[in-house]
A and B are shown apart, each in its own frame.
Chain A
Amino acid sequence: MTLTFIIDALVTVIGITTPILLAASGELVVEKSGVINLGVEGMMLVGTIAGFAVTFETGNPWLGILVATLAGATAATIFAVLVLSLGANQVATGLALTIFGIGLSSLIGSNYVGIAIDPVESPFPDALANDSFWRVIFGHSPFVYFAIVLVLAIGWFINKTRAGLVLRAVGENDLSAHSIGYPVIAIRYAAVAFGGAIAGIAGADFSMVISPLWAEQMTAGRGWIALALVVFAGWRAGRLLAGAYFFGVLMALELYAKASGHAIFPSQFWAAMPYLIAVIVLALISSRDGKDGKAPACLGKPFIPNG
Chain B
Amino acid sequence: MTKFTRRDFVKAVGAASALPLLGASAQAAEPFKVGFIFLGPVGDYGWTWAHDKGRREMEAALGGAVKTTYVENVKEDASAIPILRDLARQGNKLIFATSFGYMDQVLEVAKEFPDVRFEHCTGFKRAANVSTYNSRFHEGRAVTGTIAGKVSKSGVIGYLGSFKIPEVVMGVNAFTLAAQAVNPKIQTKLVMIDSWFDPAKETAATETLANLGCDVIATHTDSPAPLQFCQKKGIFGFGQGADMSKFAPKAHLTAIEDIWGPHYTARVKAAIAGTWKSEDFWDGIKEGAVKVSAYNASLAQDAQDAANKVIEGYKAGSYDVFTGPIYDQGGALKVKEGQKMGLGDLATIDWYVKGIQSA
- A contact set with B: CB distance below 8 Å: 5, 8-9, 11-12, 15-16, 19, 99, 102-103, 106, 109-110, 113-116, 119, 206, 210-220, 222, 251-252, 255-263, 267-268, 270-271
Closest to B244 in A: A114
- Which chain B residues lie closer than 8 Å to A116 at the CB level? 224, 228, 246-248
Say whether B200 contacts A271, CB under 8 Å.
no
CA distance A109 to B44 in the complex (A): 11
Interface residues of B in 185-205 (CB under 8 A from A): 189-195, 197-205
Closest to A98 in B: B7
Say whether B207 contacts A220, CB under 8 Å.
no
CA distance A257 to B358 in the complex (A): 10
CA distance A219 to B195 in the complex (A): 13
CB-CB nearest 9 A-B residue pairs: A216-B41, A263-B359, A211-B225, A8-B211, A211-B199, A220-B198, A216-B43, A261-B357, A255-B208
Say whether B43 contacts A212, CB under 8 Å.
no
Quick check: is B297 within 8 A (CB to CB) of the other chain?
Answer: no
Quick check: is B165 within 8 A (CB to CB) of the other chain?
Answer: no
Quick check: is B5 within 8 A (CB to CB) of the other chain?
Answer: yes
Say whether A211 contacts B194, CB under 8 Å.
no
Closest to A119 in B: B232
Quick check: is B284 within 8 A (CB to CB) of the other chain?
Answer: no
Say whether A210 contacts B189, CB under 8 Å.
no
- Which chain B residues lie closer than 8 Å to A113 at the CB level? 43, 45, 49
Interchain Cβ contacts within 8 Å, total number: 133
Say whether A259 contacts B200, CB under 8 Å.
no
Say whether B202 contacts A211, CB under 8 Å.
yes
Say whether A213 contacts B189, CB under 8 Å.
no
Given A220-B195, A255-B208, A271-B194, are A213 and B228 neighbors across the interface (CB < 8 Å)? yes
Given A258-B359, A261-B359, are A106 and B208 neighbors across the interface (CB < 8 Å)? no
- Which chain B residues lie closer than 8 Å to A119 at the CB level? 228, 232
Say whether B207 contacts A15, CB under 8 Å.
yes
Contact of A262 among B190, B200, B359 (CB under 8 A): B359
Quick check: is B261 within 8 A (CB to CB) of the other chain?
Answer: no
- Which chain A residues lie closer than 8 Å to B205 at the CB level? 255, 259
- Which chain B residues lie closer than 8 Å to A219 at the CB level? 200
* A and B contact pairs by CB, cutoff 8 A, 6 listed: A8-B211, A12-B207, A213-B199, A218-B223, A220-B195, A251-B201
Given A103-B5, A106-B41, A259-B191, are A252 and B204 neighbors across the interface (CB < 8 Å)? yes
- Which chain B residues lie closer than 8 Å to A222 at the CB level? 200
CA distance A41 to B92 in the complex (A): 33
- Which chain B residues lie closer than 8 Å to A9 at the CB level? 208, 211
Closest to A256 in B: B208
- Which chain A residues lie closer than 8 Å to B211 at the CB level? 5, 8-9, 12
Say whether A19 contacts B247, CB under 8 Å.
no
Interface size class of B (residues with CB under 8 A): 35 or more
CA distance A260 to B205 in the complex (A): 12
CA distance A11 to B229 in the complex (A): 13
Q: Given known contacts A206-B199, A271-B194, what 7 new A-B pairs fall within 8 Å (CB)?
A: A5-B211, A12-B207, A103-B5, A210-B200, A220-B200, A251-B204, A262-B359
Given A5-B211, A255-B204, A259-B205, are A210 and B199 neighbors across the interface (CB < 8 Å)? yes
- Which chain A residues lie closer than 8 Å to B359 at the CB level? 257-263, 267
CA distance A17 to B202 in the complex (A): 14
Quick check: is B209 within 8 A (CB to CB) of the other chain?
Answer: yes
Interface residues of B in 150-173 (CB under 8 A from A): 158, 164
Say whether A210 contacts B224, CB under 8 Å.
no
Quick check: is B304 within 8 A (CB to CB) of the other chain?
Answer: no
CA distance A262 to B223 in the complex (A): 26
- Which chain B residues lie closer than 8 Å to A259 at the CB level? 158, 189, 191, 205, 208-209, 212, 359
Contact of A258 among B40, B192, B198, B225 (CB under 8 A): B192
- Which chain B residues lie closer than 8 Å to A258 at the CB level? 190-192, 358-359
Contact string against A for B residues 312-345, beta-carbon threshold 8 Å, 1 for contact and 0 otherwise: 0000000000000000000000000000000000
User: Which of A103, A258, A261 is the most central at the interface, judged by chain B CB atoms within 10 Å of its CB?
Assistant: A258
Contact string against A for B residues 26-50, beta-carbon threshold 8 Å, 1 for contact and 0 otherwise: 0000000000000011111100010
Contact of A261 among B73, B207, B358 (CB under 8 A): B358
User: Which of B199, B207, B246, B248 is the most central at the interface, judged by chain A CB atoms within 10 Å of its CB?
Assistant: B199
CA distance A215 to B202 in the complex (A): 13
Contact of B43 among A11, A99, A206, A215 (CB under 8 A): A215
Give chain B nearest CB distance to A135 CB in angstroms.
12
Given A215-B199, A255-B204, A271-B194, are A109 and B232 neighbors across the interface (CB < 8 Å)? no
Closest to B359 in A: A263
User: Which of A115, A210, A262 is the most central at the interface, judged by chain B CB atoms within 10 Å of its CB?
Assistant: A210
